[in-house]
A and B are shown apart, each in its own frame.
Chain A
Amino acid sequence: MLLALLILLLMAGGIASGFLARVSHAACRWLALITVTIAFAIIVSVWIDEGLSMTQTDSWLRDLYIPWIPSFGIAFHLAMDGLSLLMLALTFFLGILAVLVSWKEIQYRVGFFHFNLLWVVAGITGVFLTMDLFLFYFFWEVMLIPMYFLIGIWGHENKQYAAYKFFIFTQASGLLMLLSILALYFIHGEQTGIYSFDYFSILGTTLSPETGRWLMFGFLIAFIVKLPVVPLHTWLPDAHTEAPTAGSLLLAGLLLKTGAYGLIRFVLPIFPEASASIAPVAMLLGVVGILYGAMQAYSQTDFKRLVAYTSVSHMGFIMLGVFAFNELAMQGVVMQMITHGISTGALFVIAGVLYERIHTRDILRMGGMWKKVPFMGTVAMIFVMASLGLPGLGNFVAEFMTLIGAWQANKLFTIIATAGLVFATAYSLRIMQKVFLGKNIEGHSMTDLSLREKFILVPLCVVIIWLGLFPQQVINAARPTVANSMHAKNHTAIHQEAQTNHVKYTSAFTLEKGGSHEHE
């Protein structure tokens, strides 16, 4: 129930703050802030409740099952395991920051903005929780529309174009996933006689290699567009660049992660053989992404665009790690999801903070800011270093585990990916050089971070350093999920277990189905 409550809370909070804006903008902001903070508090309390070390083997912490569209075997089925917990914690953490970061930036249509913001967060929450494929697709799409509005209404100069591109790319790939979901549904139904979209039922479906591969492509394409993987990445630089700061924060921090999450949650467990068979190609794509993203990032002059391309590069590690098929790499991926969310999010916040002050994102027009804003410079330095994978910061742990895991799978690709770190250094340092070091060419004068901005950036710093030095809790939390997705080969066992857990539901289906809905 708690899980549904989370989503409802966010949706209700969104609507309420939307209306409250008619009374007072400040009240609207506060309400939004409080809503997300409550959600965050709930997740933290769950985490504490489950014990911070999370050493238990049973991977499911919470489960909620409400039949929704029984004719299709669709249920409102939410469940949370360690991975979901981590992702939710990240979601609400960044959600809080997204509200804060918009405090000054968003001055028109405040109510509608916060409505959209909270609904994006709600949609993402749904994506991270749902255990029903139909519901998953449902949330997958639901999070797009408010995001589209965030970009399209409050974005920068070229916002319409970016918003279209974002929407169309994700929709196109999402629909292909819907096809796969439906095909899976019918294949599973024909095999077992149980027509259900439930994740745990679907897991056990046996597929012929050919079918398996095609169906996996459907899922894969949705996730790698979101991730994004070169050459499906071109929506991302535009979307990131044009979105308002909160939008970029959510895009980079969370929306990209839904792709990675999908890979771990769905692609590997449901299609173990098929994903193993394309692993080399997928890893190659990852490597290409790492290098291509880095190369593109190097030449960009728009701060946000640059950071966007670094995301492309960093997400390459996720592809590399996921398809390395071992626990280390997968743990690295989980870590990367979180740390990238934080470090790139922070860089976007910095870009936003700069934009608020000097109204440009062109790094060629910046320079020498350190003298004026040493605090901001220090913070930026930390995240630039995080983005180039400096040990001691979270990203290093992620990348190191990913690479060392990937090494077991493919040595050549790992070497190239490791070399990508050199390029990461090149583009990361370029940010520092062009923005904070060098000479202040245009003589911008500006004030250092305000208290509110410190409130946003300092926690991010603390978290990224914390993750760099004490990442074990995160690793422990993700362990059961990672293990499950890893041992995809003997998934039938897990499936059976899951089946018994859900036997009451599935049997309810069978009755329902047998009576009314025959697919001959």
Chain B
Amino acid sequence: MIKLLWLIPTLPFLGALILILTGSRLSWRIAACIGAGSIGLAAILTILVGYDFLASGKEAYLHVAWNWFQAGDLSTTFSFYLDSLSMVFIFVITFVGFLIHIYSIEFMQEDEGFSRFFAYLNLFVCSMLILVLADNLVLLYLGWEGVGLCSYLLIGFWYTEEKNGYAARKAFIITRVGDTAMAVGLFLLFTVFHTLNIQDILTQAPLLWTTGASMAVVIGFLLLGGAVGKSAQLPLQTWLPDAMAGPSPVSALIHAATMVTAGVYLITRMHIVYELAPLAQLWVGIIGAITLLIAGFSALTQFDLKRVLAYSTISQIGYMFLAMGVGAWSAAIFHFMIHAFFKALLFLAAGAIIMALHHEHDMFRMGGLKNKLPVIYWTFLIGAASLAALPFVTAGFYSKDQILWLAWAGEKGNLWFFLAALTGAVVTAVYTFRMVFITFFGEAKTKISHVPGMRITVPLMVLAALSFAGGFIELPHTLGHFTLFSDYLSPLLPAVTLKEGIETTEWTIQLVTAVLALGGLYLTYILYVKQPQLSNEIKSSTFELHQFWFRGWDFDALYNFVFVRPFVFLSRINKNDVIDQFYTGLVQITEYFNSAFVKTQNGVLRWYVMSIVVGAILILTISLFVQP
């Protein structure tokens, strides 16, 4: 069964191919069958392959499809590499992907671009699978860019709106900035190792470099650049909130569950390089810490439901980066998985609400949906609880707690990381429940136009179950010490070495976390349910700050000012190509000479005689007096 690994990315690809080739000629049912079916098959196949893989007990499985290109030293293959890390990812991608496809059938049913949507979505799944299964960095780059393309296509799916197109291009271009750094990183890796095969690099790196080798640090930073772009971390985070222009399933799949975590995947995949480059790794943590804070604060101020979730995604990925920064690789991956569940859930639920309310995005115009959309409410609530990491019952608590603990106790952790994570936890709780209270409580402000059907509710419930139960596969040792997940990953990803004698504080930390999360919840309850005027007062008293956060800390304005405007200005001003002026100038000079010479040709005989005489004098002068 494991031999069919290649089929997992191929199935979505075929699905996409069929849908693209047939255009919109298929009825929506058939298109849905192909679109969701291919992913469903892939998901089933993933289980079979995964079972085989686990049963075989091998560390990895490699399938070489064909030699891609080979020139000079460079040799790349089209080959898939399955190990425990990629296993987690393909599981999440196919399963969450499948659920989202099911959801989309209903969500997109009325849309005239139905089959196009599924084509893109399938193509995305295919690219994402290639990304995580790639055995060399070039192929990984292919998947990397492929998901970028699909993200672009899907953000701009409703292409008639100018702003959707703008958001789509922004996403593509900004991630490409990161990709540039990553590409340079690949060049460097190739120069050092003469190969771009991931496993070869990982095995050779420790032999070649000592810890802190400058080359390793540089490469670490360059790959981080790529990761930061794709995962919407500081300083390339600005594209993700705008990316919400895409349909909600897209936000759920691409901009929450899978693609944006590609950066996490990349860094984890290359963790050996980062282990050898402590400075780079430290910066992974720093970027994560800062990002999770600024995104969290921005999330506090948004009124668009999806934008809150977008900022929250940035913030949660910040947690993953923080975890990687302290070397808590499996914690990062664990959080990735759990985050994929609950964030997909939240986005899908938000999508269902938005669809139910006539495409209303503004939370403040929702309200009172608790009773009208009970299924949505409960599932959303579970997702929110998980996001806010409400203690002990939610999956989010376990995954986030692990990160907090390791940020504090891990050898590479420090107080600042911990404080940032802690602050983030409070903020998370606040914006999460602000969202819940505003949306579901209070009085209804908009009429419901569409009650979600089975295709929407079932995926929601499945995801809710996962967000709830997913956490129990990895329990801290204060609470049962059940480490299925990290054990599973342990041959690949080393565990964190803790600081000396710090184990005892674990209880305290968990308690603090739990209390803060609950405190945040209570605070929100007061602000938005008990005394709503209070929140307005706070808002008006800190209006400037509020707006500043609302605009995402003005990164957009900064980039516009520093990069975009100058480029566009230069480009516009030089539209007619200043270099051409030089050639035009040459032409003008010759034309000037032409008109000057033509005047000599005036038709007067004596003038002509004069010219001969001048010539004669000139020749005589030269012959008699110039001695060359």
Contacts and interface: CB of A to CB of B under 8 A. Distances in A.
Tell me, yes or no, whether A and B come into direct contact in the complex with CB atoms closer than 8 A. Answer: yes
Interface string A485-500: 0000000000000000
B70 interface: yes
Interface in A390-431: 390-392, 396-397, 400-401, 403-405, 407-408, 414-415, 418-419, 421-423, 425-426, 429-430
Contacts of A404: 74, 186-187, 190
Contacts of A234: 577, 579-580, 583
Interface of B: 20, 23-24, 66-74, 78, 116, 138, 141-142, 144-146, 149, 152-153, 156, 159-160, 162, 165, 168-169, 172-173, 176-177, 179-180, 183-184, 186-188, 190-191, 567-568, 570-572, 574-575, 577, 579-580, 582-583
A155 interface: no
B173 A299 contact: no
Contacts of B160: 368, 371, 437-439
What are the nearest 9 A-B pairs in CB distance? A391-B142, A328-B72, A437-B159, A407-B187, A299-B571, A331-B71, A327-B72, A234-B580, A299-B575
B159 A391 contact: no
Contact of B23 (A375, A425, A437): A375
Contacts, number: 138
Contacts of A391: 138, 141-142, 144-146
A298 B571 contact: yes
Interface size class of A (residues with CB under 8 A): 35 or more
Interface stretch (A3-11, A24-32, A83-91, A466-474): A466-474
B577 A374 contact: no
A191 interface: no
Contacts of A439: 160, 162
Q: Is the interface of B mostly helix, strand, loop or mixed?
A: helix
A231 to B, nearest CB: 5
Contacts of A277: none
B149 A385 contact: yes
Given A370-B159, A375-B23, A475 B71 contact: yes
Nearest to B65: A469
Contact of B66 (A401, A421, A425, A470): A470
A257 interface: no
B149 A378 contact: no
7 contacts: A165-B583, A390-B149, A418-B183, A429-B168, A429-B169, A472-B70, A475-B70
A109 B60 CA distance: 66
A62 to B, nearest CB: 24
A300 B582 CA distance: 20
Which one of B24, B177, B577 has the highest number of Cβ atoms from chain A below 10 Å of its Cβ? B577
Contacts of A403: 183, 187
B20 A378 contact: yes
Given A234-B583, A422-B176, A437-B156, A471 B69 contact: yes
A240 to B, nearest CB: 13
A206 interface: no
A401 B187 contact: no
Contacts of B568: 298-299
A433 interface: yes
A229 B186 CA distance: 27
Contact of A408 (B177, B191, B577): B191
Contacts of A469: 68, 78
A385 B148 CA distance: 11
Contacts of B191: 407-408
B579 A230 contact: yes
B574 A296 contact: yes
A445 B599 CA distance: 56
Contact of B574 (A299, A332, A407): A299
A328 B577 contact: no
A295 B579 CA distance: 13
B190 A390 contact: no
Contacts of B574: 295-296, 299
A233 interface: yes
